[in-house]
């Protein structure tokens, strides 16, 4: 007697009535399906149980700590590539050539400081843009207008110096109308030109002195805060998680405990940007090693101060990527190199 017939007999005995043939066949088929499904489920469960990894014992666990990749972004634009510099110079010279002939009185009213300045420049340079090379648009040598390799006009610093030199000079006197109202305009123009602001140098005093603790260095690059820990190793600011502390909360605490409260910082996101795994030579405190998860942050103002730090830090530096590589050990660098910007 099969499983379906047994099921039908049990139903009939409980209800006290007979079951028709069609119902009995239906019950028989359902019983077979249920039995097959149960067999498949048991096999699947057994396979899953066989593939479950064994529980990790406390002696094979890792300690967890948070680290902060605190950076100062570039302050100024980078230096031009030689090709970019040559292209911009070409565009400026081309614009200068296409501007001729120039109707002066359409733009400058006679006997105004602007008109006198234009006369002075034309008389001195024969072109209103001496910083990018003299140009004589008329004559037999008008075609000979290419800059030679190494010409000073192609240097950006040389161009800036020429522009500042022109801005510092007062307008020339009008030979036909000396003194009077025009002279007063010239003097007024001179006072205004004395107030010309000069651009700040791209190389700072901290660069010249090699001060690696200053944030006013390598203005074109991203700088990262490295600290010297108790073991004498250079790392990012790091510390163990306290209890059930989240990585984001731990990162905020580490910034205060390491660099002090004078740093105005901003934590970017709540997801780590990388991690570093270090194994102990011998197991300690039921741990094989330590895993550090790094959070990204920016410094907006202020400076690090280790005077009252609570992490036992001895020193700090603000370094660019290639400087970080030379400071940290090889395995640490292998874990963090892809988290740092090239510029």
Could you tell me which of 119, 130, 116, 193 has the C-alpha nearest to residue 159? 130
| pLDDT, position 132 | 82
The pTM score is 0.68
Long-range pairs for 45-51 at CB < 8 Å and ≥24 separation?
none
| pLDDT, position 123 | 76
In sequence order, what DSSP letters do the residues of 264-327 get, joined into one string? EEEEE-SS-SEEEEEEEEEEETTEEEEEEEEEEEEEEE-----TT-SS---EEEEE-HHHHHHH
Q: Which two tokens stand for residue 158?
A: 């040389």
Residues of the chain with pLDDT under 50: 31-38, 40, 48-49, 55-59, 171-172, 174-182
Strand 61-72, strand 223-228: pairing: antiparallel
Q: Taking all residues of the chain, what is their mean pLDDT, rounded to a whole number?
A: 79
Q: Give the domain ranges of the chain.
A: 3-51, 62-76+210-339, 82-194
**Do 153 and 147 meet the contact criterion of CB atoms below 8 Å apart?**
yes
| pLDDT, position 131 | 81
Distance from C-alpha of 44 to C-alpha of 105, rounded to nearest angstrom: 94
CATH number of 62-76+210-339: 3.90.79.10
User: CA-CA distances (angstroms) from residue 157 to 85, 151, 203?
Assistant: 11, 12, 12
Q: Which two tokens stand for residue 322?
A: 């290639």
Helix (H, G, I), strand (E, B) or coil at 228: strand
């Amino acid at each position: 007697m099969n499983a379906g017939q047994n099921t039908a007999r049990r139903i009939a005995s409980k209800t006290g009535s007979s079951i028709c043939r069609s119902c009995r066949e239906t019950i028989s088929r359902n019983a077979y399906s249920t039995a097959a499904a149960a067999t498949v489920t048991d096999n699947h469960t057994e396979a899953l149980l066989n593939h479950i990894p064994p529980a990790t014992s406390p002696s094979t666990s890792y300690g967890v700590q948070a680290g902060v990749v605190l950076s100062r972004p570039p302050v100024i634009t980078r230096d031009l590539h030689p090709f970019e510099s040559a292209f911009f110079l070409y565009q400026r010279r081309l614009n200068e050539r296409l501007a001729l002939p120039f109707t002066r009185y359409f733009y400058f009213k006679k006997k105004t400081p602007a008109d006198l300045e234009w006369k002075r420049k034309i008389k001195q340079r024969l072109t209103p843009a001496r910083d990018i090379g003299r140009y004589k648009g008329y004559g037999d040598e008008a075609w000979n207008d290419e800059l030679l390799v190494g010409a000073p006009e192609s240097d950006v610093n040389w161009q800036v110096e020429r522009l500042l030199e022109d801005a510092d000079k007062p307008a020339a006197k009008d030979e036909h109308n000396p003194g009077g109202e025009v002279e007063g305009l010239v003097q007024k123009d001179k006072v205004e030109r004395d107030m010309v602001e000069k651009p700040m140098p791209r190389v700072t005093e901290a660069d010249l002195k090699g001060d690696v603790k200053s944030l006013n260095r390598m203005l074109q690059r991203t700088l990262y805060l490295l600290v010297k820990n108790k073991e004498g190793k250079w790392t990012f600011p790091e510390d163990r998680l306290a209890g059930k502390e989240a990585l984001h909360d731990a990162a905020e605490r580490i910034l205060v405990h390491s660099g002090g409260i004078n740093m105005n910082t901003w934590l970017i996101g709540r997801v780590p940007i990388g991690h570093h795994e270090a194994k102990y030579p011998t197991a300690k405190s039921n741990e094989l090693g330590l895993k550090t998860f790094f959070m990204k942050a920016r410094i907006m103002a202020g400076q690090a101060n280790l005077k009252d730090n609570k992490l036992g830090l001895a020193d700090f530096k603000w370094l660019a990527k290639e400087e970080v590589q030379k400071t940290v050990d090889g395995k640490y660098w292998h874990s963090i190199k892809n988290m740092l910007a090239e510029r």
